[in-house]
Amino acid sequence: MKRYPVPAQQVREEMVVVNSRFIATLAPVFSVEQARDFIARMRQEFADATHNVPAYLVGHGDSVIAHCSDAGEPAGTAGRPMLAVLQGSGMGDAAVVVTRYFGGTKLGTGGLVRAYSDAVRRVVEVAPRAEKVLTHTVMVEFPYRSVERMRQLAAAHGGQVLDEDYGASVVFTARFPVERFQAFQEGLYEASNGQLAAEVIETAEILMPLGGGGQGNLG
């Protein structure tokens, strides 16, 4: 599975150009249907705006679906410049809508291109990144005396402990990137002299934050 950055969450930036108000909203989308739903939500939220201009990328690299529209602005002045900035960001699975409230002064073709490009550039710059990662959620049961060792072992292999259940023994539920799970399993086997093994209970794609210290990190 090829990894690539995507927006970690919906973000919004606003600017004013010659009295026109530009509001750029960026969000992660993982299908054309999700992209269309996001665009529809923005049009509903800003139903009184002069324009709601969309662009999106679903996928990444050679397997990307790209779309944009000028949404009533002069041809080539809004959607295409926005899409170009989105493509240049390196992100995939991203949709952006730039909402414009006309301020009474026409910006001209060049002014519109700059304004819509800058609006997307601003929101892209502040957007936190994540990666879509294939993960195993696992369970492992062990004695109380091994709790700290288990936490350290999970952290060493990129694991996130989701739950700790204390009964007659301790049951950890943890999540690992698929490519790191086997090394954790081998470390667990070695640390327990062959007595312990983790059971995979779910395999799924999740968003994991990039740039250090996110919820997916331990230690």
Enter the tokens of residue 186: 């081998």
pLDDT for res 1: 57
Half-sphere exposure of 68 (CA within 13 A, CB side): 23
Q: How far is CA 199 from CA 16, 186, 188, 207, 218, in A?
A: 55, 13, 12, 22, 20
Q: What pLDDT score does 47 carry?
A: 97
Topology adopted by domain 131-209: Alpha-Beta Plaits (3.30.70)
Question: What is the pTM assigned to this prediction?
Answer: 0.76
pLDDT recorded at residue 209? 81
CB 54 within 8 A of CB 96: yes
User: How far is residue 145's CA from residue 151's CA, in Å, rounded to a whole number?
Assistant: 12
Per-domain residue ranges for the chain? 5-127, 131-209
CATH number of 5-127: 3.30.230.30
d(CA 123, CA 12): 6
Give the pLDDT confidence score for residue 211 in this predicted structure. 57
pLDDT, tens digit, for every residue of 124-135? Answer: 999 999 998 889
Residue numbers of the chain with a pLDDT score lower than 50? 212-219
Contact (Cβ atoms closer than 8 angstroms) between residue 126 and residue 11? yes
